[in-house]
Chain A
């Protein structure tokens, strides 16, 4: 178990080498595959989650568009072993110098911690795990860096992979003593969150660019909303397509990509492709691993349509006038809208309820906006509709609102309350009240992605930030539902620290 914990840490770190010059990127972070199953051991979950949250706390820009550092092209180069073979001793030297610097920095940090610990004996040691975590992460990154540097000497990157893994495993064992399980903050995490965290982990080891699939993902989701209604007109003859019916649990799970063989769900297609490797060699080809392009999928696929598991529903395959659903997303939205409780209530009007978070968001955009009022009492959400109405009917006139200056009050308090357990946990992971405030503000505005690199908050030392950019790839997968098309809103709001609620409210990117 200890092993897994540290493996997690190192897996965090193994994103780091991507930042060093391309010819040294010999470390292919594909090692997650081997550990996939092990992760699912529930006993590990809490700890993994804890780390995850820790990082998320500093993950200031989860939706930042891919910067140069995240350029998909550079990411794709990683498995390309040919480049790493012709290594340059000068780069090696600079690499080693870099590592040396880092070790010195870490040393300073430890010194600092030692000094501080002496100062604050009386205080609760809530920072202790953080510091430990910090050191662990830094150490891990150094080790990984070292391995990757060493790996560049090896003839092929394939060989480096087991090496890395073994070293990382060893590291984990070392680290285990340093950081005993069960201590720290496991208690903060509700067990149910842990379930989703498993998937999160798999996400984070995503070797390809997280940002890329992520964006596609949101687009998909947006489109699918319309598709659900649009496919009504589609008249596929029965039998011309394959009907899949997901179970209720699957539908409500926060996955959108499902393994066709075992049915396991993933939030990202890239992770699914990683998973598919385990089902056989045919999935290990570069083509299968590469991001699927629509053109490349030229071979005729059997048309798949989906059935709603709710018996009696028109979308259920047993229904007389069965109308299939086009995609899994359609199924999910349909099922939630039709057969689930409407658990999201509009915080402004307190009357409208929704079962799909995206619907709530859409509604909130318009809720409380200027109502265009006709003398006949009819209200319109759009001015042109009101004028069309008035042009049509004799004697109707536009009505002038009593108070000419309609405020937009109540817009600021739109924080996501249902995410509060995670929120609390995250706040407590902040290093100090100061950083928490700053972090809060950043979080509030982070969807704009125009802030300074917030990785600096991670460590009081001035680490080369490129190493920590890796952490930004840890996305915000703690949401219980899959409405990730709006996840940037949520990530903005659910990161609100309580202390700075006012500020963050006013900084609400919406």
Chain B
């Protein structure tokens, strides 16, 4: 409601001269406004110019993502043309809120996102669905309390095309059966983690909703061969299984594969699907474009080749954490002529398998071998030989590869836009020079925990399109190398320097100067960093995420600079910045009105600072462990004052120090408490009285040594 009060000022000072905008038709102004979509603040400024602008902007806005449900009535009246309503930030949406929405929006509303809110019931949903008959999208993910009546209410949304029910664990076959019968136009349905839904419900969806394009059945208890109703431990949870038999198994998968328009099928973690049931079907799905069979441990190349037999237009195949990538598997996928992307994360990979993939006649665009065991230079080199058009390559934690692989990759796949090679520790420093020389289209580069040095950074700075650079735990880089990046990579949006100990203020200064578009910066445990870095980063006006954990030299002064300069700041982590105190909180509270998440653990913030944060109306998540200056009453006041809180991490000790009713009240507002009982680490270290641990905590080199010891 700040907006409304500020509104009055331009109204009073408005000069009654000719308003040129009056000459423009509404459509033209609308199309101008369309270009302001990037930054929400721009539209806000526009609407504050004058009354007509205000009205125009109100009529132009289609999507709304309110932070609170209290003002819903006013907001919705201000924006009468809202079609997309995202309520995922509202801590509490109850039936009355839904009734307000349904009464105000009526037929305008086409999309509503209710994920992460949990106070409404089937009554509110029923109201919504009956009044907003044009609803096309409903997202009810994480509504774990909702039961079959809620699903039955949704079934009344006859125009529904997309429905997300992820983690709606209490909905059963009966509920989803209602949806299947009611929502005939469904094109997308996500039932991931709906543990109450089995073959019968899914089968009915496939039988009744012929328009389905995308079907997510991940982690559903499908196809479990049980003849009687029985208790079965599924994914660690004990659930009641419906009577499911082998015949039904066929009946469930069969109608799914017969869906005429099915494009995306997600069967991640469906342990009940096995080769036998797939082979018995002897049927593929013609229209399928994306298939995710991750973590289907019982499906090998046999079942897969059965499933992909008719699948001519499959573009993306995700087989993460599945059966080993052998020659047989690679051969069985050979005929997929349209395949562009394949993800084999976490699979056991054999050299013949990789070679066979390398011999496919198609050219892959995307390949992920993240955390695959058995990726060697030989396999990887022969794999990339044919796939020269590779755009994205992920070889995270392929610890056996060396310079040889990188030389091959950079030589052949020159159009790489994304290369992720975290923890490829055998890759030598020279390889990174090659990356910079040959792959200049790179936009994303993850070099976390590698041997790259300043020379490599200098070379990589040639990738002028680089937007995402991760240099965490790169102990060989210094300010000199980073300065090259700052000079050349002006498009940089995300920079990760976690525990890269060689980085100091000059490096950050160079980055801040050269990369004005920076949005995310992580300088955690770069212990040499001081306020100067923060001051220089404060010019990056788009900065929304800043992590400065364990930078003991940073003080409130630097934080104040950030608060003033980076108005977009939404996430701030200043854990273990011992010198940050209330003086830093006050400017933050005043300027960072977009702050949503803050971690103040181990800092010197007290009641005053915490209470001042209450003026940030967006603030949703607070982690406030081990604040020495925090008293129970101060905490209580701060918690009550921060009305938008949804998540608070607190020390266990406060649980008994504050009245139970307080927590109950806050929980009813939609706040979730996470209690931590960790020993104050400094004390812990003092108790150990070893310099080594203290050193290890703050010194990245020691930290890495310690890490290697553990390994």
Contacts and interface: CB of A to CB of B under 8 A. Distances in A.
Interface in B236-250: 242-245, 248
A271 to B, nearest CB: 37
Given A382-B243, A383-B243, A391-B203, A397 B181 contact: yes
Interface residues of B, number: 23
Interface string A156-170: 000000000000000
A400 B243 contact: no
Contacts of B245: 384
B670 interface: no
A387 B252 CA distance: 11
Main secondary structure of the interface of B (DSSP, over half): helix
Interface in B263-289: none
B199 to A, nearest CB: 9
A395 interface: yes
A400 B196 CA distance: 15
B200 A404 contact: no
B177 A390 contact: yes
Nearest to A399: B174
B204 interface: yes
Contacts of B203: 387, 391
A383 B178 contact: no
A387 to B, nearest CB: 4
Interface string A385-399: 001001100011111
Contacts of B181: 390, 395-398
Contacts of A399: 174
Contact of A400 (B178, B182, B208, B242): B178
Contact of B200 (A384, A395, A396, A400): A384
B243 A390 contact: no
A397 B182 contact: yes
Contacts of A387: 173, 177, 200-201, 203-204
A400 B152 contact: yes
A387 B197 CA distance: 13
B422 interface: no
B147 A383 contact: no
A390 B242 CA distance: 17
A383 B149 contact: no
Given A390-B181, A395-B181, A396-B181, A383 B148 contact: no
A66 to B, nearest CB: 27
Interface string A126-157: 00000000000000000000000000000000
A498 to B, nearest CB: 34
Interface string B171-212: 001110110011000000000000000001101100110000
B155 interface: yes
Interface in A404-459: 404
A446 B152 CA distance: 46
A397 B177 contact: yes
A92 B200 CA distance: 70
A404 B204 contact: no
Nearest to A397: B181
Contacts of B200: 383-384, 387
B148 A400 contact: yes
Contacts of A382: 243
A400 B155 contact: no
A398 B180 CA distance: 10
Contacts of B155: 397
Nearest to A392: B207
Interface centre among B175, B177, B242 (most CB of A within 10 A): B177
B204 A400 contact: no
Contact of A384 (B152, B207, B248): B248
A485 to B, nearest CB: 20
A382 B173 CA distance: 13
A397 B182 CA distance: 8
Contacts of A384: 200, 242-245, 248
A223 B621 CA distance: 67
Interface string A354-393: 0000000000000000000000000000111001001100
Interface string B156-180: 0000000000000000011101100
Given A391-B207, A397-B155, A404 B148 contact: yes
Given A390-B181, A404-B147, A383 B175 contact: no
A400 B248 contact: no
Contacts of B207: 391
A400 B175 contact: yes
A54 to B, nearest CB: 41
Contacts of A383: 173, 200, 242-243
Nearest to B170: A404
A237 B243 CA distance: 43
Which residue, A382, A390, A399, has most C-beta atoms of chain B within 10 A?
A390
A387 B172 CA distance: 13
A233 B200 CA distance: 35
Interface string B352-369: 000000000000000000
A383 B173 CA distance: 9
Nearest to A369: B229
Nearest to A395: B181
Nearest to B247: A384
A234 B468 CA distance: 80
A402 to B, nearest CB: 10
A50 B207 CA distance: 66
Q: Which of A382, A390, A400, A404 has the most CB of B within 10 A?
A: A400
A382 B149 CA distance: 20
Contacts of B248: 384
9 contacts: A387-B203, A387-B204, A390-B177, A395-B181, A397-B155, A398-B175, A400-B148, A400-B174, A404-B147
Given A384-B243, A391-B204, 13 more contacts: A383-B242, A384-B200, A384-B248, A387-B201, A387-B203, A391-B208, A396-B181, A398-B174, A398-B178, A399-B174, A400-B152, A400-B178, A404-B149
3 closest pairs, A vs B, by CB?
A: A398-B177, A397-B181, A387-B200
